[in-house]
Amino acid sequence: MPHLKLTIAYDGTALVGWQRQASGVSVQGLLEEALAPLEGRAVTVHGAGRTDAGVHALAQVASVTLQRDVDPRVVVKAVNMRLPHAVRLIDATVVPPGFHARFDATAKTYRYRIWNGQVVSPFERPYVWQVAWPPLDIAAMQDAAGRLQGTHDFAAFQGAGTDVDTSVRTIFSSDIQAADVRHGERLITYEVRGDGFLRQMVRAIAGTLVEVGRGRRSPAWIEEVLASAHRATAGRTAPASGLFLVGVDYERPQTAEAGTQNSSLHV
């Protein structure tokens, strides 16, 4: 009865998000449907994070228990044969039975991509938020982003419908990078790593940082927003298209006994 840690990448453009829903195509639903023929029964997959509709992932993590003793390499190949090209199982690893992708996670990293310019490549458009004008003040955005590090109440960055016991989270790193693309246009990347994130939190932060970059607010405004604990005080919720779940961290390596197979086969 192998217990598996799955690593999944997906283009969320046409998906309703990670979580299985009554209507629409979800990542969880696709994975469970692809795994079922291996088991001859329905299976339940537990994800590390519930990404919203339109959000992408480079390395989402999930856990699942199978009744059949199947080589992880076979799982990767068989599942990818049944998945649409927008979703790929990139790794399957046997882990101890107690491992839970969500509850054992110690940190997650998200990346938000902003195209600051007039002309977006058709190959970039589905994966960025275009802020055509004005040229954003990167130094001010970085100053503001740095003020988010530490433990704070992030209620002001919490989307509607969030059901959590507390909105306090710890941010380990919060950074802005910019790369010149052509003719003064730039690809701006906001990357944040923390112990957990509220619904639409990163998108709300991205929208707030853009307000600072436009010069409408000072970097110190971030501290006022945090102190307010009211969503209306922060910037807009940035579009889902620019957001990527980059990876999930765990305190210790998730490995089973020696001799088990670890597959990184890409199909």
CATH of the domain at 169: 3.30.70.660
On the question of pLDDT at 103 being above 60, the answer is yes
According to the model, what pLDDT value does residue 87 have? 99
- 128 and 208 share a domain? yes
| Counted domains in the chain | 2
Residue 94: band (very low, low, confident or very high) from pLDDT cuts 50, 70, 90: very high
- Which residue carries 């306090």 as its tokens? 168
The mean of the pLDDT values for the chain is 93
Burial of 179 (0-12, 13-18, 19+ CB in 10 A): exposed
Catalytic residue among 11, 52, 143, 195: 52
Q: Would you give the DSSP letter of residue 236?
A: P
- 116 and 162 share a domain? yes
- Rounded average pLDDT over 108-115: 99
- 127 and 201 share a domain? yes
Q: What percent of the chain has pLDDT over 90?
A: 89
**Domain that residue 202 falls in:** 107-246
- 139 and 237 share a domain? yes
- 127 and 241 share a domain? yes
For residue range 158-175, what is the model confidence (pLDDT) as tens digits?
Answer: 998 777 899 999 999 999
- 64 and 158 share a domain? no
State how far Cα 98 lies from the chain centre: 24
- Rounded average pLDDT over 87-101: 97
- 39 and 167 share a domain? no
- 81 and 135 share a domain? no
- 137 and 240 share a domain? yes
According to the model, what pLDDT value does residue 261 have? 36
For residue range 217-262, what is the model confidence (pLDDT) as tens digits?
Answer: 999 999 999 999 999 999 999 999 999 999 999 985 444 443 333 3
- 111 and 217 share a domain? yes
- 203 and 237 share a domain? yes
- 182 CB contacts (<8 Å, ≥6 apart)? none
CATH of the domain at 24: 3.30.70.580
Residue 178 in contact with residue 94, Cβ under 8 Å?
no
- 154 and 256 share a domain? no
Structure tokens belonging to residue 25: 């195509």
- Rounded average pLDDT over 45-72: 97
For residue range 112-138, what is the model confidence (pLDDT) as tens digits?
Answer: 999 999 999 999 999 999 999 999 999
Separation of alpha carbons 141 and 213, rounded Å: 5
On the question of pLDDT at 195 being above 80, the answer is yes
> Would residue 52 show up in a list of annotated catalytic residues for this protein?
yes
